[in-house]
Structure 1
């Protein structure tokens, strides 16, 4: 039996409506906060007949109080103000004043000095492991390869990676162990398994070495060089995490329900295909090729705007100035002679668009310059993004496993017909 709220009857037939003061006392808030709940649509009010005050349905007030108590605490905001977003306490990434930090360390500087594997270890544990290397047992990679090879030829990167994750999970009987050591062990095997499961573009490739070297052979048919591999490795490190992006939030919701790390990563992969997230780099890649083909950004930008599309690769809601990830990658791309024409095309796009809206380049445009000038398919940026972000998703899953289970459970604000309604004909 549900506990009765103190001081108020629970029989709807005998229950009177509450005054603002009574509603505030029941909720444990100030009267002004009660009116804020009304303005957010979380409470309904009724004017007092012949008076200037408001009254409130007692059961509705009690329900709001229960939701606030259930969803409050543990770092999740229970009742964000209208127009605000869900916020979650995290110790992983901070974005502040056009810079971002991994566990308090400047992410751009970290990526410039350490490999992707080392940055991932830092994100997971807060400790640096010089020379960290990720390898996967043949049994894991073999089952993932077979699953990926069974897909249609036109399958996209997210399709292949999701299937590889599911196959690797099915082959791991210890996947339900959510202890920190077990999850870290899974992460160190899963990421190289994803790379190994992708069909190689460059034959006669090495099966070991840094992860960026192995990933290159899955993206480009050209032989690699030191400068190109440095760009790829830095891109992976820069993209490891970016606070609570949409895919990361999906991962944390899965982890909150105590889904195993493979399932949590699969939840993230299910989100990145959107054109506003992981697929944005591919859109920028195709636009760059059109600019290179036509010799000018003006007609390409004009066509995008006429079709009602936003210009891919420009602007970021978290940065007032240039995306620091783009700035770092553009600096490295200057050292690639084969990237010169794509870099010029990217600058033309930014300058052309700036005549109307002064938007800065974001990391998607920088990735597009790299993939377009490296003989990679337009989907390569999405693959780079997904492989890189898997480490960040694991970091967030680990953090979420340490929180109260099922805390990522917001309450719906029902706006349909008020019951009771008649049964449908």
Structure 2
């Protein structure tokens, strides 16, 4: 999860004050000192930390906390609100031009993931907003960048506009916009050139493109793992180009969080999107309040619901619910559900979105071994159709054959069969409890999936 180290420190610090029936000024001072150290360790800008801690201290020692019946809870509320405000307050949406196409210029240093992010953004606009984007290869200095964008276009079945390495980037951008108008496309996303560091030639070229195409958005792509350097890069680009928003890449990596918590405060430009993985569907709209909740261990139910809506087949989910009611679901259904859950992303990330998961025994800092899921899939796929539908036909020779086919020991096959049988029994009991002895729906029990 993003901000893992910072999240652990802040949650530990706030836990000390949560259960207190009365919060003293000394308690607040000790808490803010720990918060300050946690943020500095996360590579958050020193001035940003100073202002942030000052605001928390002022509010936590004020009337809204000291005179509250639950002062500990009020302190958490203050910290969450200030953390949300620090990251921008509310979600900043992508501009939409009154006269299509909407033009987005992608800028940033080489190596930040700009070209890949261009493809991810186009994919997100099409998938979530039903838009028709055009990708534009305007980095004429790196043939690899043009090839990469064309490859991404093929993978995503999206059009890519390119004039090769000999054309002028300004001409490429202008002609791409004309093509988008002719073909009634909604967005033009221009992948511009990058450098290993900010230089005058790069900025001159980017300014020329901006002046000529008058983009609706100028998105700066920065690597979240570079910490304070990302903030310095953001300042330089913003001074020259007046960027409209920031896209943070690699926020799922071993990042301390300094960039995400400093950029808005330093540049006053919102974080629009965050890259949460390498796959082309792992770019998310950045929600400051949801991220603050996750950092403080409060979960992120809305993002979890959105992931489920995007990745889970609703018709199949309804069919499975009916099968679970009468305990008729099979290993094929189980395999299908595993596939849909896996498509939602790493299981650790999904668990971190569950409110209170950080406090649940066995769920805090859980490390899900994805290999175990692969082993389960291999065992099920080694079964015959009949065995998947009716596991009761299993005997010693069948189990031995399945073990050999999946490359797993017989003990694992037995364990999976027992777990599956236990689950079916449990579902049957739940359904019976709901119906009641005379077929009426029982009171006081709700099946968790219904």
- Give the TM interval when normalised to the shorter protein: under 0.3
Bigger RCO (CA 8 Å, 6+ sep): 1
> Under a length normalisation based on structure 1, what TM-score does the superposition of the two structures give?
0.25
Per residue, is there more helix in 1 or in 2? 2
Q: Whose strand proportion is higher, 1 or 2?
A: 2
